[in-house]
Amino acid sequence: MAIIGAQHETASDAAAVQASRSTLSNFLTSPKSNTPPSFHEWASVTDNMGFYNISALAYWPSKAAYESWADQSGFRAWWQGLDCPEEESSNGWFIEVFLPTTDRFETLFNNDTAREGAAHMGRCMSEEVREHGYWGSMRDRIPLAQTDGLAGAGTLLKASSPPDPNSVVATTTTTTTRNRVVVPGRKNLAVIRSGQDWLDTTPEERTLYLDTMHPVLIKGMDFLRDYGDEIGCYSCRFMEIVDSKTARPDGIDRTFGLAYFDELASLERWCREHPTHLAIFGGFFKYAKKLDNHVTLRVFHEVMVLQPDQQYFEYVGCHPGTGMLATVDRAGAKEEI
């Protein structure tokens, strides 16, 4: 899974936003590659610094397929040249790549009518699972968690030597140039993408969702975004799926939270103990009760717990609060330069 995006100071410059999205789209759909993404879609968010971020979420069946696409499409060569003077841009760029093995991944849906994310690469849906609806069920669905506690590193990694310039995947170093930062992978980083789709709800359920559940969800995502460092959350973006042609969210009615935690246990504690998530969790049961459990809202999530070499984060010209840039020891990075 790769999150490849552009960061603009504002969404008001529609031409600039469309230009950056077109640049990335040309690589994702390039006829030169025989391993294009199996699935990709676009999402956007205005972050807490006021910057507008538009990004593609793209999925490949293997690391080899991703690497082949990066070479054949010309993306790798373009990306490596971004900090050259002739490639300077008024906007920033970022790429975040996750390469989970199946024993470090799980995805869950409340129905089998629509696929999301990695499930587009699957052949079928499973039957209903018993490991659901209780605290700890997320861990029980991750195969490796049955024999490994999946504890995180617990310390901040500082700047170090430059990575292999021929790679656009995992590195264990941080490097900073004039406007480029590569952030190291972290031991057992927990990544969750949790989505909501109310596109096909009845008018009554739509109103109920937007009046009751959506505001509570936003409050929880805002807490993780602004104060997540208090509980081990490095980054949280609450994003809207946007139209593939217009890059606007109008009429899409689909959102997701994308959050990075220092370890699975921190994500579990937020879910189990924090008032912002308890409000979401409890609110959903009240929501379902009002609908006599005839819920047509579609929800899903995908969770990965990653080794350092299964992660890659690189940012060019982005503000310091972008994604995993928030974990970088900026003073240490300056000293390294």
Domains of the chain (ranges, CATH numbers): 2-100+151-185+308-336 (no CATH), 102-148+189-304 (3.30.70.100)
Query: Where in 219-280 does DSSP place strands (E)?
Result: 233-242, 254-261
Q: What pTM, to 2 d.p., does this model score? A: 0.88
Instruction: Provide the β-strand partners of residue 267.
Output: none
* Helix segments in the chain, DSSP class H: 14-28, 63-72, 75-80, 137-140, 203-208, 214-227, 264-273, 275-290, 330-336
Is 301 catalytic? The answer is yes
pLDDT of 283: 83
Q: Give the residue from 42, 69, 37, 45 showing the smallest Cα distance to 57.
A: 42
Q: What is residue 71's DSSP assignment? A: H
Helix (H) or strand (E) holding 197: strand 189-197
Where does residue 39 fall: left (phi above 0), alpha (psi -120 to 50 degrees), or beta otherwise? beta
pLDDT of 38: 96
Q: What is the three-class DSSP state of 245?
A: coil
Q: Give the residue from 121, 66, 143, 95 showing the smallest Cα distance to 303.
A: 143
Residue 83 burial by Cβ neighbours in a 10 Å radius (0-12, 13-18, 19+): middle
Q: How far apart are CA 82 and CA 245, in angstroms?
A: 25
Q: How far apart are CA 330 and CA 56, in angstroms?
A: 27
User: What residue type is assigned to position 36 of the chain?
Assistant: P
Kindly state the tokens that stand for 201.
Answer: 């709800």
pLDDT of 249: 63
For 74, residues 6+ apart whose C-beta sits below 8 A from its C-beta are 27, 30, 32
Instruction: Provide the β-strand partners of residue 299.
Output: 196
Residues of the chain with pLDDT under 50: 85-86, 156-167, 170-178, 330-337
For 167, residues 6+ apart whose C-beta sits below 8 A from its C-beta are 312
